[in-house]
Chains A and B, each alone.
Chain A
Amino acid sequence: MLPTMEKVDRSKKDKPDNSKRTDLPNAHELFLTAIVADEDFETTLRILQGYCAMSPINVLTRKLTWEGPRTRTPAGIDAKFIKNQPPVKISQWSGLSAQLARQSYIMHLLYEVDRQSFGKVEGDHTPVFQGSQTLSLLDQRPGILRWNDLPDPTEITKSSNTRLADPGASRPVNTRLMFSIENHGLCSLMKMMNHRFVREMIQESNRYVHGDVVFELTRYLQFPVGENENPSIIRNELPNFESLTPFDSENKWILTAFTIVTKGDDPDQMKKGMDQLVAIKDDFEGCFDFKVLDRHIFDTRVKF
């Protein structure tokens, strides 16, 4: 109806609608990011270990990127599917469906793996096609569907965001609405919603917990080139861990400090989370440079 309207404006226009729906889950992620060079990796681990008084938890995750349909009128999630879910999850799925109905997004499926699964041959050798019944062996495992919205603006703009506790100031942290739902059969669900599998990466991260804040020192690894015949097939076997290459050419690590707030529209809760993150930023002053990044870096909307 309004093809010439700027996408950014459209998001601004749509946002007030969403913030008025108080019945849907409204969890926000507040986060700050810092970059760590590869040669500082060991030192960073030690510093964080001292700060958080715990050893790092090493987590390897298969991160599958799925792109939504290239249409301006996407459908949400099938209502029948939502009804069949256990009651505790229904509100989460409904909330996600509402978001997916306004706009097409890029989402991630996360499957945790352990080091031993790399280089191991799975039992079933038959290749799976996109048209077959079981899209992937991953369907049989529990995975996490992760959807992030475009982060809220951090500078003061004319159309001020009513969610800020103090509209006069700028946000000291990045904040974004998010949904994180654990389920089986997620790959088939994505296919059902007309989402296309784009690529898979391995996320290697070291996790620390400090109060309500989680530190994650992450880097992305990609699969060796040429081995994968058809990039749109989800692989069942993982190659040797040593054959993976870092996604970033300089093998930098990303240090994220994040916390999740239950109600994004409750200014007190948001302030509680923000205060913790700002305190961490001050504590690490001179050591890690925790920054508020431009929100468009994290833009997950499908553009066409």
Chain B
Amino acid sequence: MDAIPNEFPISLRSWPSANSNDALPSIIQRINLERGGFQNITEESLREEIAREELNNGDNGDSSSEDEEEPDRAKELNAAREEFIGQIEQAHQASMLALDFISLLLSKDAPVQASLSLSPDLQAMVGAKTLGADKLAAPRTTEAQKQDNRNIAKGWKVQHLNKTVDSILASATRLEKEIEHETKYWEQVLAVSEKGWAICRLPNQKHILGVRFGFSESSPAFKGRSLAALRRKSDGTISLDQGLADAEPKTLRVRIEVDGSFTGSSILRKAVPQDSPVEALILQARNTIFSEELWQELNRESRILEPVKSKDNTLIYQLTDTKTMVLDLVPLEEEPLRFTGPDDAIAEGIFLALNILLSSAHRLAHRKRTQPPPPIVLEKRTTPPLNLLRPFITRVKHQETISKLRDILRPLHRVLSSLYLDHPPTYTQIPTLWPPQPNLTVAERTVLALTERLEVTATLTITPTTTITIKAQTHSQPTIFPQFVLSISPESPLHITCPPPTRLDSLPALQEYLYYATSCVLASIFVPSSNPPLETSSPPLEWTQTTTPSILTKPLTSTTKTKQLAFTIRCTPQSSSKGGARTILRVQWEWARGDLSGRNLALSAFPTTGLRSTLWGDGKNAGVPYFTDQESRLGVSPFGEEDFDFAGNGEGKGSGNGNGGKKKRGLQAEGYYEWIAWVGEDDSDKGFFEVVRSLRSVVESAGTVKGGEK
């Protein structure tokens, strides 16, 4: 099958665009393909080609003329060759004839010598010693001329001897210099090798040494660039030649941005000047290739990681509500601009973390590669992007979760402590430490401990029977998300009243459940233990739980009215409250409305006397009258005694809005009490503690009838 001859160049590439800014490597590649290298090209041959091409274009320039040219050139060559041979033959003939003539001439005087060079044909034809020569006149050279000749000969000899001596001296000096340079070169190569760099021969130019500064676990694109030639410069010093690779030193830069301006940046090292020792250049090349690989892997990963955005050659990620992290690859300069800002430490920390994570990923790849491989299948296995940003973001999110969890649980614990319950509540928050894997190095174990299976266990004991355990985990696959696993101690009443969902996915949901569950537990303290009730016709005079576990009711037999007691815990957000987010436990008591109450709701109005406790204040006043800011703005004031009709007519002036402001309606023996804790306060405030009422006393007084009641 000779459809296509072997030398026919097939190229599946499209024609290169006629772009004059073609990169050097692609031009070189094309030249190599066309002409097989630069060795056979000289200036003259190129000029000849150009001239020939112009000639051809002058003719008619189609491809057929090329074909015709081919045989013409061959014929030309042959003709020239024939001519050449003919001329040589002629020269040979002439010289043979001359030789014969001289031999014949000499045969008279030196027959032995002459017969050696005399051709046998001539000898046979003419015979030896048949020609003679004689001197007829004396030579005309004078003695002076002869002396001149002798001098000239001597002079030439001396000249040539001098020249020889000079050239020998010159080559000796050159050799000495060469040796010196070579020694220097080898010393430097040895110095580089002793520093730990791997020296090897270049694969395509076996007589040149190169140094390998890349990493063995890099992706193939970077492995190809990790070899640099060590060349000897004219003065003997060594130079690093990275060939066609871009030798500009680069590094990854991490910056922190707040509100559009940069507040922190990682430290940019100075570029090593070109004339520094070669080890420094090699080190810089290694750092550059590491940074470039880091940048490429970060970009690859950001394409599958949702929170990281790519914009204008930078990677952007929102660290916290205010701070944004910006990553980019920048070239190093010899005189870098120094940038300092308050968040420099954060930026530098992130930079170091990313570098460590790349090394850790390399180590993981090494472990994977050196294990016995799985059986061969046909599908190509693509390497997934390395996990660099993912463990970092997981860790950041986990720390966020930990501190937010603490901000929920600590104030809650403080509120519970201030209730003076019989058994004080306890709260702990402990990160889980997994047992270390035995085959790993300390470095690997440290990285793993920081980034994998992150978990913290928080335990809140409210009553002796109720302990809530929260396991807060941050997962990194398939996306980065937190998860909370709840468990309650087995004897807790919560299992009946408010069983926990096993898994919660967000902190607000957890917070809601915690508050509700805590209020249920507090309510259940005052419910007597579930012994079988005595068979009495009348309902017991104790608090009982309603269908809402955080609300208790208690019938007051004297008036067949039922009192309702509600426990709620809420949290005011940071933005709207002065001094930070507050966790507030409120116990509210009121008459039960509707069917639960007695038939006769002859209730009289009564000024509310809700007193608010504060754990913050100057301790002089035991409480301040309750009004929210909003109410005081709207002009709400407590009812004075004159507003109400204590006679029990059920009427009061309250219906009239004489003051022009809204009146707060309240009923006698209703009110509430609140315990508050702030985020961020700590126990050093104990000195200013004021006496707050204990939960028990509040509940008791809520459950009794105030004096003045019928």
A interface residues with partner B (beta carbon < 8 Å): 27, 53-54, 57, 207, 209, 211-214, 259-262, 266, 268-269, 272-273
B375 at the binding interface (Cβ < 8 Å):
yes
Query: How many A-B contacts if CB must be within 8 Å?
Result: 35
The reply to whether B369 and A54 contact each other, CB–CB distance below 8 Å, is: yes
Assembly CA distance A19 to B412 (angstroms): 71
The reply to whether B370 and A212 contact each other, CB–CB distance below 8 Å, is: no
Assembly CA distance A212 to B376 (angstroms): 7
Smallest CB separation, B222 vs chain A (Å): 15
**Given A53-B216, A54-B366, A262 and B376 touching (CB < 8 A)?**
yes
Q: Is the interface of A mostly helix, strand, loop or mixed?
A: mixed
Cβ–Cβ < 8 Å partners of A27 in chain B:
375
The reply to whether B378 and A269 contact each other, CB–CB distance below 8 Å, is: yes
Cβ–Cβ < 8 Å partners of B373 in chain A:
209, 211-214, 259
- 6 closest pairs, A vs B, by CB? A260-B375, A262-B375, A261-B376, A54-B370, A212-B373, A53-B216
Cβ–Cβ < 8 Å partners of B366 in chain A:
54
Cβ–Cβ < 8 Å partners of B377 in chain A:
262, 269
Q: Max chain A CB contacts within 10 Å: which of B216, B375, B376, B377?
A: B376
Smallest CB separation, B394 vs chain A (Å): 30
The reply to whether A273 and B369 contact each other, CB–CB distance below 8 Å, is: no
Given A212-B376, A262-B375: 9 more A-B contacts, CB < 8 Å? A57-B370, A209-B369, A213-B373, A259-B376, A260-B375, A261-B376, A262-B376, A266-B378, A268-B378
**Residue of B with least CB distance to A55:** B370
Q: Is the interface of B mostly helix, strand, loop or mixed?
A: loop
Assembly CA distance A214 to B372 (angstroms): 7
**Residue of A with least CB distance to B371:** A209
Cβ–Cβ < 8 Å partners of B378 in chain A:
266, 268-269, 272
Cβ–Cβ < 8 Å partners of B371 in chain A:
209
The reply to whether A272 and B376 contact each other, CB–CB distance below 8 Å, is: yes
Which B residues from 354 to 398 make CB contacts under 8 A with A?
A: 366, 369-373, 375-378
Cβ–Cβ < 8 Å partners of A54 in chain B:
366, 369-370
Assembly CA distance A7 to B373 (angstroms): 35
Cβ–Cβ < 8 Å partners of B375 in chain A:
27, 260-262
Assembly CA distance A266 to B375 (angstroms): 13
Smallest CB separation, B16 vs chain A (Å): 33
The reply to whether B376 and A273 contact each other, CB–CB distance below 8 Å, is: yes
Cβ–Cβ < 8 Å partners of A266 in chain B:
378
**Residue of A with least CB distance to B366:** A54
**Residue of B with least CB distance to A263:** B377
**Residue of B with least CB distance to A258:** B372
**Residue of B with least CB distance to A270:** B376
23 A-B contacts, Cβ less than 8 Å apart?
A53-B216, A54-B370, A207-B372, A209-B369, A209-B371, A209-B372, A209-B373, A212-B373, A212-B376, A213-B373, A214-B372, A214-B373, A259-B373, A259-B376, A260-B375, A260-B376, A261-B375, A262-B375, A262-B376, A262-B377, A266-B378, A269-B377, A269-B378
**Residue of B with least CB distance to A30:** B376
Assembly CA distance A269 to B375 (angstroms): 10
**Residue of B with least CB distance to A261:** B376
Smallest CB separation, A275 vs chain B (Å): 11
**Residue of B with least CB distance to A268:** B378
Cβ–Cβ < 8 Å partners of A57 in chain B:
370
Assembly CA distance A57 to B367 (angstroms): 12
Assembly CA distance A209 to B366 (angstroms): 11
Q: Max chain B CB contacts within 10 Å: which of A57, A209, A214?
A: A209
Assembly CA distance A207 to B369 (angstroms): 12
Smallest CB separation, A270 vs chain B (Å): 9
Smallest CB separation, B218 vs chain A (Å): 12
Cβ–Cβ < 8 Å partners of A262 in chain B:
375-377
Cβ–Cβ < 8 Å partners of B370 in chain A:
54, 57, 209
Assembly CA distance A302 to B375 (angstroms): 28
User: B297-335, CB under 8 A of A: which get 1 and which 0?
Assistant: 000000000000000000000000000000000000000
Assembly CA distance A27 to B216 (angstroms): 31
Smallest CB separation, A249 vs chain B (Å): 30
Assembly CA distance A54 to B369 (angstroms): 9
Smallest CB separation, A139 vs chain B (Å): 25
Assembly CA distance A53 to B365 (angstroms): 13
Smallest CB separation, B373 vs chain A (Å): 5
Cβ–Cβ < 8 Å partners of A211 in chain B:
373
Smallest CB separation, B454 vs chain A (Å): 31
User: B520-547, CB under 8 A of A: which get 1 and which 0?
Assistant: 0000000000000000000000000000
Assembly CA distance A272 to B376 (angstroms): 8
Assembly CA distance A298 to B255 (angstroms): 64
**Residue of B with least CB distance to A276:** B376
